[in-house]
Amino acid sequence: MPKLKRLILLPVLIAAFASTAPAQNPPPPAPPPAGATDQQNQAPPGQQPLKVTSGLVHLVAAVSDRRHNFITDLDKQDFKIMEDGKPQTIQFFGRETDLPLRIAMLLDTSNSIRERLHFEKDAATDFLANVIRRNKDMAFLMTFDNEPEVIQDWSGDASTLTEAIQKQRAGGGTSFNDAIYVAAQKLAKAPLPAGADQEVRRVLVVFSDGEDNLSDRALSDAIEMAERSEVAVYSISTSTEWLATETSDKPRKLFETPGDKILQTLANETGGRVFFPYKVDDLAVSFQDIGTELRSQYFIAYAPTNPLQNGQYRKIQVDVDRKGLVVRTRKGYYAVAPSAGPYSKTQ
């Protein structure tokens, strides 16, 4: 048998975006005119879809094949939506191919990742270089140890964000859940583009091992805030549970840690993805995939057949007719009254 040896995972990324935008959410757009047809409600390729009203549930979905190639030529009739097991009728549909991104970079700077912090900072810098587009996308940097803190507020300048990332030091406990909650809250009030078309894609990228020992909020609270804020969470694990053999230069993951499973849950529930890189070089393709995915998505809106707005959670399942395709979107939503606002939550 080959001799086994445990390898410590090179510092994996932990990037955090956090910052508060002073701008308030714009008022909801007027409802579509009575008698609008499906043709009117479906945005032509390359154009932005109609904005949804407060009475609709809206989703952003990514569709890929088994080789992880993104499928961008589907139409409204290709999708089927179920809410709590009951079929729903799609009222608005469009292809979101080039929306401005609003990104929260969430970097774990707790004492437990001290040996991996340099790796995390390099990875966060690489992410910005691969994804952020000047004069279109914006991001903020948030770190978390004993508590979450916005280090660099909203900026479209990757060099400004990178400079803030490289200055970070490690120490303290880990308030993971609180950080996710606060970052999602801030993303809900992200600065919007100038002009009539103010649609954006909200994304939270967290570099962490998923562990928590100081948060006041539960993981369920963090997930709920992300869902209310329509934020997709992309998690990059910093787990060190890797194994290598002397006969192979490619290590393999030993097992998923409890923290890894938390990162997976966050991604699954919000329509994001989770990555388990061994070294920083493994992330280049992953970051490119994230950038491509965020610009290869579908906008879907429907009026739920259940009109009650009692604050309860409702499960959503989205499928497509073509075989072999995988749809990723958020798994549900909270049925809150329009007067409460889409991002409100009782403290």
Q: How far is CA 173 from CA 41, 176, 201, 212, in A?
A: 49, 9, 31, 8
pLDDT tens for the 347 residues of the chain, in order = 443 333 333 333 333 333 333 333 444 343 333 333 333 344 333 333 333 345 889 899 999 998 888 999 999 999 999 999 999 999 999 887 678 999 999 999 998 888 888 888 988 998 998 889 889 999 999 999 999 999 999 999 999 999 999 999 999 999 999 999 999 999 999 999 988 878 889 999 999 989 999 999 999 999 999 988 989 999 988 876 655 555 556 666 667 789 999 999 999 999 999 888 877 777 777 787 788 888 888 999 999 999 888 888 999 999 999 999 999 999 998 887 544 434 333 33
The β-bridge relationship of strands 79-83 and 101-108 is unpaired
Q: Which contiguous run of DSSP H or E holds residue 38?
A: helix 38-41
How many CA atoms are closer than 13 Å to the CA of 282, on its beta-carbon side? 18
- Report the alpha-carbon distance of residue 298 to residue 45 in Å, rounded: 11
Other Cβ atoms closer than 10 A to 110? 25
Written as one letter, the residue type at 341 is: G
pLDDT at res. 240: 67
pLDDT at res. 88: 98
pLDDT at res. 68: 82
Beta bridge partners of 317: 82
Other Cβ atoms closer than 10 A to 153? 20
CB 25 within 8 A of CB 343: yes
Listed in sequence order, the residues at least 6 apart from 68 whose beta carbon sits closer than 8 Å to its beta carbon are 289
> Model's pTM, two decimal places?
0.75
Written as one letter, the residue type at 221 is: D
Secondary structure class of 152 (helix, strand, coil): strand
pLDDT at res. 3: 39
The β-bridge relationship of strands 138-144 and 148-155 is antiparallel
Other Cβ atoms closer than 10 A to 269? 20
CA end-to-end span of the chain, whole Å? Answer: 57
Domains in the chain, CATH or no CATH each: 1-21+52-347 (3.40.50.410)
Closest CA to 283 of 229, 347, 211, 234: 234
